[in-house]
Chain A
Amino acid sequence: MTSEKPLVEVTHLNKVYESKGRRVEAIGDLNFAVGTGDFVCIVGPSGAGKTTLLKCLAGLLAPTSGSVTVGGSRVSGPPESMAVVFQEYGRSLFPWKTVRGNIELPLRARGVPASEREARVTDALEAVGLADAGDAYPWQLSGGMQQRVAIARAVAYQPDVLLMDEPFAAVDAQTRADLEDLVRRLWRERGLTVIFVTHDIEEAVYLAQRVLVLSSSPTYVLDDVAVGIPEPRSQVDTRVTPQFGELRTRVYAGIQRAKTNAAKASA
């Protein structure tokens, strides 16, 4: 890293949900930093507070204590320089708008002039391989294609940070592999910084330069795994290398440990 300050910094993040007589500490004490141009995957056992963390990062949820900073400024609402791709593609696209309209709306909201909007939308659609689908409605497309539209919308937005919340959990395996490669390509070609939340260990190792393994709730960072797998990666070759196997084992062991600890804690 050449830049002096990390792009995203999470410091002593803590989140407690309180309702009538019940106090649930979802996030205990989270600390990590993501540098410009990084591709970081966050994995954890189910119930690791991944959704809570994501909402705090996206500025959709205020932390109980601690802070998230993006580009040096503290997150108190959704940061302008961040785009989010949600898991539920069917519920994150506007069904009354065409594909083009969906991609264009955030650009309108940010006051991008019409001619540039046009160019950005066309470019983003080409980048995700949907150049001809601009006039279709999202619901006329397959699930994988809908998620491509959501990715195109994020790309057209030209964010500094792309936040992805288990984006491929609801698509079939082959589509998933294609989408993984699409995200890697966009990351490389466009110099994005990607934070990718997933529960799939192999996906995390395949995609990321770095995998953060979370503990069970109350969450802290259990392991920070540098993935040194060389570029370019491929679905066929990368996944059978011994290095891939070792990394997967290490992350898997971490998650198993998290589960055992959680079981002990609740016993």
Chain B
Amino acid sequence: MSAVLGFLHRAFVVLALPVVLFVLWYVTSSSSTSFYFPPLRTILSKFHEYWLGDGFTRDIVPSVLRLLLGYALSCVVGVALGVVLGLSRRVRTAAEPVLEFLRAIPPPVLVPVLLLIAGFGSAMKVTVIVTGSVWPILLNTVEGVKGIDPVLDDTCATYGITGWRRLTQFVVPAAMPQIVAGMRTGLSIGIILMVISEMFAATSGLGAAIILFQRSFAIPDMWSGVLVLGLIGFGLAMLFRVFESAVLGWYEGLKGLERQ
């Protein structure tokens, strides 16, 4: 009984503010005649009409697929490279200037360049996403691996836990709290770059659709696109939390105890 009540209470706390804001927006905008700020009612009807219809397969699916592909690549490259750099001071010293240079380039700047090289297709957009979201993952992995406990490392050595087993059973799990923090930042950056890469030159995708609506003065449609982006970001953040508590359950438990 108290568990049910507790759940309801939590659900209330979590949902109260969004509901209030939604209602407030709905009510205050209901009699709006402004061209740029149409009533939420109108936006929602466009939302229903386009995004739950043609727009879903035309724009949402390709955008999200590109994002997931780019993000997955960022995670793999970031963690793999980060482990190598974190474990070897020599490699780190050699690679640092190049990495600092590459990191300093704002990824949107690369869009025109990559357009020339990779063309208008998905490859360009995925590349832009990777060039942005790989950095927080890479740098956090390096820090996490650098910070592995020497006593645990000695433990591995004495028990013959070496090579690949040491990497998968010790180095990566030990760095995981920081890797996950990097992945979270990388995901937000990935979403931003997904949109930006589609705004320049694209015929499909959320960014392309929103720009197209804006240029044709279909303001309610444009707003509905912004709403979709918000919802996708929210949904991915929720999924990320599930992932986080799955891989870092031990860490949260450990921190929880230390705080007591």
Contact = CB atoms under 8 A, between A and B. Distances in A.
A148 B125 CA distance: 54
Interface stretch (B50-58, B226-234, B247-255): B247-255
A96 B173 contact: yes
A160 B242 CA distance: 45
A137 B160 contact: no
A64 interface: no
B151 A60 contact: no
B76 interface: no
B176 A140 contact: no
A84 interface: yes
B170 A80 contact: no
Interface in B116-175: 149, 151-152, 154-155, 157-162, 165, 169-170, 173-174
A174 B185 CA distance: 48
B154 A94 contact: no
A245 B160 CA distance: 41
The dominant DSSP class at the B interface is: helix
A140 B169 contact: no
Interface residues of A, number: 28
Nearest to B161: A109
Interface in A83-122: 83-84, 86, 88, 91-92, 94-97, 105-106, 108-110
A62 B151 CA distance: 17
A137 B160 CA distance: 22
A86 B151 contact: yes
A60 B152 CA distance: 13
A242 B154 CA distance: 41
A157 interface: yes
Nearest to B248: A96
A139 B254 contact: yes
A137 B253 contact: yes
B253 A140 contact: yes
A96 B176 contact: yes
Contacts of A59: 157-158
A164 to B, nearest CB: 12
Give the most central of B159, B161, B176, B253: most A CB within 10 Å.
Answer: B159
A82 interface: yes
A94 B169 contact: yes
Given A95-B254, A96-B173, A137-B253, A110 B151 contact: no
A106 B257 CA distance: 27
A58 interface: yes
A85 B173 CA distance: 22
A106 B160 contact: yes
A37 interface: no
B157 A86 contact: no
B158 A84 contact: yes
Given A88-B151, A96-B173, A139-B257, A105 B250 contact: no
Given A94-B173, A95-B254, A140-B257, A78 B158 contact: yes
Contacts of A55: 154
Interface string A228-257: 000000000000000000000000000000
Given A94-B152, A96-B176, A109 B257 contact: no
Nearest to A55: B154
Contacts of A140: 253, 257
A83 B157 contact: no
Nearest to A90: B151
Given A84-B158, A109-B160, A92 B253 contact: no
Given A55-B154, A105-B159, 13 more contacts: A59-B157, A60-B157, A60-B158, A77-B157, A78-B160, A80-B160, A84-B155, A84-B158, A92-B152, A94-B152, A94-B173, A105-B169, A139-B257
The 4 closest A-B pairs by CB, nearest first: A106-B159, A91-B151, A84-B158, A96-B250
Interface of B: 149, 151-152, 154-155, 157-162, 165, 169-170, 173-174, 176, 250-251, 253-254, 257
21 contacts: A58-B158, A59-B158, A77-B157, A78-B158, A80-B160, A84-B155, A86-B151, A91-B151, A92-B155, A96-B251, A97-B169, A105-B159, A106-B159, A106-B160, A109-B160, A109-B161, A109-B162, A137-B250, A137-B254, A139-B257, A140-B257
